[in-house]
Structure 1
Amino acid sequence: MFDYGEACPISMATSVLCERWTLQIVRELFFGSTRYSEIQKYIPNLSPSLLRDRLRFLEEQGIVLRKRCGSGNRFEYHLTPSGKALAPVLTELGRWGMRYAREGMTDKQNTISGLMRDFAGGINVEELPSGDTVVQFHLTDLKDDPKRYIYIRDGVVQECAQDMGFEVDVYITSTLPTLTRVWYGEIDIHRAIDAGLVKLVAPPVYQNNLRRWLGISSFATDNPRIFAS
């Protein structure tokens, strides 16, 4: 931990939070990751050794609590009250980043796991027909596991990499970069369909209501510059 040597709360906070990858790890804990392997899946550019160091550091700072999972040598990581208090910090940081530092963002690497989790979290169940809905995403630019599924059952949304055998209601075919741009509001989903960047196969009730049930990032909807640019 770097000591700025200043009697300043901003310096004290940044000495804890601004180590490389620290806030990204906290972000994943907010998204529901609790296992070491889950965090690593969503932050593939973070080396295993550095992830261990950062988790240990967050534990020492009282931001993360490590708990043994079952009787084996497996652990889960959970945010403490001081960790949960970072929610508005991350929210405002994301809003600032989208408004003032988003240039070239969607040209950078994204993961299919992270993107599908985002889309699943953005589903507006109230705008879907009653009963179950299954959405299949086919990412044509990915060689390994190019299909992912979002299952909506009894009002609960679940993202899954496996075909559970249920009838698919909505087929969405595109590429990872295109759907990343759609999620962050750089291109409207209907414009992407009209341009042939996204292929949608679904009954009219899903097609006509697409914008209302398939959400985009709240950072995009909060940012008027996205739609003005």
Structure 2
Amino acid sequence: MKGYGSFCPVAKAAEILTERWTPLVLRELLLGSRHFNQLRRGIPQMSPTLLSKRLQTLEEAGLISRQSGDNGHWEYHPTRAAREAGPIIDAMGYWGHRWAHSQLTPNELHAGRLMWNMRRSFYLKHIPCDFVLYIEIADTRQKRWWFVVKKEEADLCWNDPGFEVDISLYASLLTLVQIFMGDQPLLLARELGKIEIDGPNHLVKSMPAWFPRSKYSHEAPEGRRSALAS
């Protein structure tokens, strides 16, 4: 990596933390991704070769520890140095959502990345019961997704898991991203006809409490929320 040629701590930190893709790799690691394929799902635009290179760089910089897993595959664990960088990554997310908020162009929308982020963003303490959530996105190559949601965790299934579906949701990818990012309240999107939800009344009514949203969603500018809702 190229350095700034300075002893300044800000410069030294930037040499490690601001290299292209590195903040996103750290975000995935700090959110619990431990395997190469998990990291790839969180950053699908990043090539496997470049991901391997960034992991090696982070290991050399002392931010990750590579360990052999039970199945013989490598696991990547954030070190204390990486964990202490967590507030920096979060601050970038909050700042970006408030001041560099995207207009959501088509090349920024990716169904797989959205589903992977939704998987770890359920508000599990608010779910009324265990259930299976089916999501169908009309305007993507892979249209169908299943979440098996329990009090302990939410599991994302890329293929039909064979369980009875309790609640179904139909929407465009853009609408789902807007809901996840906090730009469009879920039930308002339903009232406007942008999303269709089928399921028991008690589950549908409880959705605003548990439906996945970005941890940065409350930083969405009020003016932008109002414009999207109109």
> Aligned equivalents of 1:59 and 1:23: distance in 2?
14
The number of residue pairs the alignment matches comes to 226
SS at match of 1:122: coil
1:180 equivalent to 2:177? Answer yes
Asked whether the 8 Å contact 2:181–2:214 carries over to 1, the reply is yes
* Code of the aligned partner of 1:51: L
Cα–Cα, structure 1 residues 13 and 176, in superposed 2: closer, same or farther, change >3 Å? Answer: same
Letter of the structure 2 residue corresponding to residue 161 of structure 1: W
| One of 140, 143, 147 as aligned partner of 2:141 | 143
Partner in structure 2 of residue 67 of structure 1: 67
* 2:191 maps to 1:194: yes
* Partner of residue 81, structure 1: 80
Would you say 1:49 and 2:49 are equivalent positions?
Answer: yes
Aligned-residue offset at 1:106: 5.9
2: CA distance between counterparts of 1:9 and 1:141? 46
Q: Percent identity?
A: 28
Q: Would you say the 8 A contact 2:131–2:150 is kept in 1?
A: yes
Residue matched to 2:118: 119
Gapped runs of 5+ residues in structure 1?
Answer: none
By how many angstroms is 1:223 displaced? 4.3
Q: What secondary structure does 1:208 align onto?
A: helix
Structure 2 counterpart of 1:203, from 173, 189, 200: 200
Deviations 1:56-101 (A, max 9, x none): 11110000111223474x3121111111111111111100000100
Matched AA of 2:133? V
TM-score by length of 1: 0.89
Q: Is the Cα contact below 8 Å between 2:137 and 2:144 reproduced in 1? A: yes
Q: Is 2:44–2:113's contact at 8 Å kept on the other side of the alignment? A: no
For 2:92, what is the secondary structure of its paired residue? helix
Which is worse superposed, 88-97 or 119-128? 119-128
Matched, 1:134 2:105: no
* Structure 1 residues 102 and 224: CA distance shift in structure 2, 3 A: closer
The unaligned stretches of length 5 or more in structure 2 are none
Normalising by structure 2, we get a TM-score of 0.88
Correspondent of 1:168 among 152, 159, 165: 165
What is the rounded CA distance, in whole Å, between the counterparts of 1:103 and 1:65 in structure 2? 33
